[in-house]
Amino acid sequence: MQEKTAKKIRACFQPGKRIHLVGIGGVSMRPLALVLRDRGMEITGSDMNASVSTEELQAKGIRVCIGHKAENVLGADCVIRTAAAHNDNPEIAAARAAGIPVFERAQAWGVLMQEYPNAVCIAGTHGKTTTTGMVTHIFMEAGRDPTVMIGGYLPLLHAGHRVGSGDTIIAESCEYCNSFHNFFPTVAVINNIEADHLDFFKDLEEIKASFRHFAQLIPPEGAVIANGDDPNTADALKGLKYLRFGFGPDNDVHPEEVSQDYRSCTVICGGKPWCRLSLSVYGEYNLLNALGACAVAWHMGIDGETAARALAGFRGAGRRLEYKGRCGGAEVYDDYAHHPHEFRALMRAVRTMGYQRVVVAFQPHTYTRTKALFDEFVEELQAPDVLVLAEIYAARERNLLNIHSSDLAAKIPGAVCFDTLPEVSAYLRSIARPGDIILTVGAGDIYKAGEAICD
């Protein structure tokens, strides 16, 4: 980000100024709104649809308009937009016509980040929210009083953000539209790199180049902490110095004496035992996330006992294998997994939990992702005992590809498909039985189908 732009943003981020957020219900827009409000600014915003996020903001006294209209921006000192709001958005067009400065969400976060000596930015195709939550738990346990921006609900914070008075900001950092290039990390964490967001990136090579640029934002005294087991990450960071975490014994941070369910191990840092982990969350991928969080703590001088206590109390972020209730003797959970490899990791974790039957209601997220990863989805979605498909969640897209969930169902033996969430709920209720785990899975609003059936 150019310093000229940063200077303009700082001039707007003053107590009493009115900031309007377009797409205010988004996972990183909502906490931005609350952080700016807590700093004395008047916040307004808009979103295409009402949601739990917009209702939360309204309950906290922030005026949120449902639908984008030109008049919503009148009187604002600046407008901040989500990556999905383009120049043809009526509010963006109106702001530009009126001479109201328009900034990107990531630019706003980048400016806030510059105020902290330590900026821990956690990136990767998968595991960002969980790892950010784990790092937050550790820093809170250590009394470091961090400011936090996380792309999901963290029970410890009762929110997806926190405004602290310490010297550290912990921020989930997304690669979509290269938004994390606007950040100013002193510690950059890369969990993994895979092909995703192919509505923006041309291919995997372009994604790897984006992550390499992110890693190179680190100042000389900073650190890159990355998954040493992931070939794509190794390729992206070739020639760069970084601290490695992972299961392989050659990593700077790795586990020994790993339990069969991946919930306990001894963490080795720099060749020496650092702590004994006992996690409350399931899955090999969650242990990997915990190793990344331990690597951050170790690098930043937090002791192993503190990290172990903190991670023992971490029970997941919102929509990450989140327990919702019971239905007909079955237990209902919800998870955000929306990429085939995330789904595979989720199924492996669930199989260790001891249920007799795994019932999944899956909602694909965006037409472009479904099309680009179609064959991988077909392969991975065969893992549940029962698969129920909801229609694709459009998010920021229109269905120009003429693709539907029924196309997936036609390739998956035994799959059933419904057009509406009430139909999904009715079917789940009709088949639920004791010994089942019912999972609603996807990054859209599929969680509503599970919530609707809980006793």
User: Contact at 8 Å (CB) between 286 and 265?
Assistant: no
128 is catalytic: yes
448 is catalytic: no
CA distance 242 to 369: 31
Burial class (CB in 10 A: 0-12, 13-18, 19+), 183: buried
- Three-class secondary structure assignment of 295-327: HHHHHCCCCHHHHHHHHHCCCCCCCCCEEEEEE
CA distance 82 to 31: 13
Out of 104, 172, 194, 342, which one is annotated catalytic?
Answer: 172
Write out the two tokens for 95: 């702001």
Residue 102's CB: how many other CB atoms inside 10 A? Answer: 21
129 is catalytic: yes
Query: For tokens 């630019």, what's the residue?
Result: 107
CA distance 208 to 229: 15
Out of 54, 128, 141, 440, which one is annotated catalytic?
Answer: 128
**What letters, b where the CB count within 10 A reaches 16 and e where it falls short, cover 32-66?**
bbbbbbeeebbbbbbbbeebebbebbeeeebebbe
Out of 54, 82, 125, 129, which one is annotated catalytic?
Answer: 129
Write out the two tokens for 141: 């346990």
User: Contact at 8 Å (CB) between 391 and 419?
Assistant: yes
**In whole angstroms, how far apart are CA 62 and each of 36, 45, 67, 183, 287?**
11, 8, 15, 26, 38
Residue 417's CB: how many other CB atoms inside 10 A? Answer: 19
Name the residues annotated as catalytic: 128-129, 172
